[in-house]
Amino acid sequence: MNFFEEKDGSLIFRENGETVMLTPWGENSLRIRSRILDDIGEENAALLPPAPTEAKITLDDLSASIENGRLRAELSVNLWGNALQITFKNQDGKVLLQEIPNGGALQVKARHFKPLAGGNFRLKASFVPQPGEKIYGMGQYQQEIMDLKGCNLELAHRNSQASVPFYISSLGYGFLWNNAAIGEVHFGSNTTQWVAESTKQLDYWITAGDTPAEIEEAYAQATGTAPMMPEYGLGFWQCKLRYYNQEQVLSVAREYKKRGIPLDVFVIDFFHWPKCGDWRFDEEFFPDPAAMIRELKDMGIETMVSIWPQVSWESENYQEMKQQGLLVKINSGIDVQMLFEGNNVFMDATNPRTRKYVWEKCKKNYADLGVKTFWLDEAEPEFGGYDFETYRYHAGSVAEAGNIYPREYARLFYEGQKENGQEDIVNLIRCAWAGSQRYGALVWSGDIHSTYEDFRKQICAGIHMGLSGIPWWTTDIGGFGGGYVEDEGFRELLVRWFQFGAFCPVMRLHGNREPSIEIFDKSGKKRNGSGNDNEIWSFGEENYQIMAKFIRIRELMRDYTRSLMKQAHEKGTPVMRALFYEFPQDKACWDITDSYLYGSDILVAPVCHEKARSRQVYLPAGASWTHAGTGKVYEGGKAYEVEAPLDTLPIFLRYGRQGYLIGEI
């Protein structure tokens, strides 16, 4: 029997209706696919076409191997059940990842396909954990955890959760689950299990590298890099829920200008429209949006407008979109997918015709007026109950293809803007999947709460997102919900979060501040309300001075931040970096949850505990570190207790680089 063959540069295994294919896919990388009773399909959820590489393939009766650069896959057949096991090794013969043993008395399978009605399968892929392995990436989960070993993660999107199924291992490899199905992953101590609830074939990608940077750059080549961040993405952005009319927008922008506070982007939040799905300004509250946008532009401020994918039953576009098949479908029952200001369904961003239709509306009503940047909210999308099995896209059932939605939503606007001749593109979005970065997606961490616990979780989330190939990331400074403007405890939290925000890829102040304000139209009908004031002068003079100082610090770093964005664009390098990214040889760096590197030169240690006026900071070995506030030089490889009065935070400069910050912080 011939279990193995070589075909067109791939290694193929066949047995009992299963076909397994291993294909070189970029330097030091392989793509692994498996299918039951069918040829391997060419469908591809995330990977870009690879650059040609030459792999070495060897065949034997019961074993085979394929070697591509630093990565070698060894395949062996267990005669008890004729089952296949794959082991991945690096160039030194070290085991990186191994499928579980197959067959035997337990009759377990490394690639278990359970048939579903209609022809798809529930798929479970199982691997043997390696001792001492640490795992990082996987997108954004709301937890204060860096090493994901031992975690159970849902492979699905929710408000504040973005599932990006790529991780970096401390053993020297990266792994992408190239499958957009709803599912889960278990990084257990006995097995690692990946589950897709509905799929046609197994598909994953693995790469080997000697450093985290090499692995990250290989992943960027495989899935794409972010565009170059526009200049207006480098400074401070002002936002709140919500500036509800034209005069309010202009009065706040004029006040920033009057005070001499640099402001790059002014954000106009949701329900500036009449009904969800209208995608235009409400003329009662925004009588001359073109003039408003021109005045902001004259002040050096770009206008960002919120977009929701919801389409209300009362929208002027609902009937046409329904007739044309441009909406997400419910499998049965009454088609209501979210209740918010009435009955709503979602536009189907996976449908090319929908993308064309929605962009034409937004071009006419926003881009042609001068809007260059969009806020793509509700991007998961936020189904009322997250009952994923209930809905269907153009791309397939949500169970099978659901996780691509936020990427295709970003694609809708990116491709429309490119077609419109725009080159400097960045769009804020509430979710992402593998490949979102190449469509100008700036992810923010969703509707998080105004607590120190949530603050700490965002530090981990930002680091993980960078390692997941999403270098553009930000938060609602101060948290989205639960912050009372006059509360002194919240004001201190806001200041600490604001300091952190100055050292995030994008610095954006947002939130639904309490107490809220009721809004009525001229007929007396109650409209969607507004949060309270959220400008930097809204929280007391002392806090205003601190926040204004950190906006100036952000401006001082503009050239440095631009250089980080260039690295992200060219190589996929994270802007927020885990300490181990630059110092992989320092074992302590692999366990730090509450500090990070902004680029290679600036170590940021946010003050993220209530009323704290100092904190412990670990400085990586292999460098000297200069305290940006005092100029004092510290030896790396040690932890220090560092003072942190409210008007500052611990910032350390690697070898004293970026010395212009010394004394400013």
φ, ψ for residue 650, nearest 5 deg: -70, 115
Considering 269, 380, 492, 601, which one is annotated as catalytic?
380
Query: What token pair was written down for 498?
Result: 């604001």
CB 480 within 8 A of CB 450: yes
Query: What token pair was written down for 266?
Result: 């002014």
Looking up tokens 């506070």 gives 261
Q: Where are the alpha helices (DSSP H) in 260-404?
A: 289-298, 318-324, 352-365, 398-401
Is 92 a known active-site residue?
no
Residue type for position 121: F
Q: Which residues are paired to 527 by β-bridges?
A: 519
Query: What token pair was written down for 607?
Result: 């003050």
Rounded Cα distance, 659 and 626, in Å: 9
Considering 216, 217, 269, 377, which one is annotated as catalytic?
377
Q: Where are the alpha helices (DSSP H) in 325-395?
A: 352-365
CB 417 within 8 A of CB 185: no
Rounded Cα distance, 290 and 429, in Å: 24
CB 602 within 8 A of CB 633: no
Query: What token pair was written down for 400?
Result: 């099978």
CB 605 within 8 A of CB 650: yes
Is 368 a known active-site residue?
no
Question: Sign of the C-alpha dihedral, residues 309, 312, 313, 318?
Answer: negative
Is 282 a known active-site residue?
no
Give whole-number Cα distances, 239 to 293, 367, 597, in Å: 15, 20, 26
SS3 category, 574:
coil
Rounded Cα distance, 537 and 548, in Å: 9
Rounded Cα distance, 559 and 567, in Å: 13
Query: What token pair was written down for 1?
Result: 């029997």
Rounded Cα distance, 562 and 565, in Å: 5
> Residue 129, preceding bond cis, omega within 30 degrees?
no
Considering 184, 214, 295, 447, which one is annotated as catalytic?
447
- Residue from 512, 526, 506, 440 nearest 481 by CA: 512
Give the per-residue SS3 of 1-15. CCCEEEECCEEEEEE
Give the per-residue SS3 of 132-181. CCCEEEEEECCCCCCCCCCCEEEECCECCEEEEEEEEECCCEEEEECCCC
Active site residues: 377, 380, 447
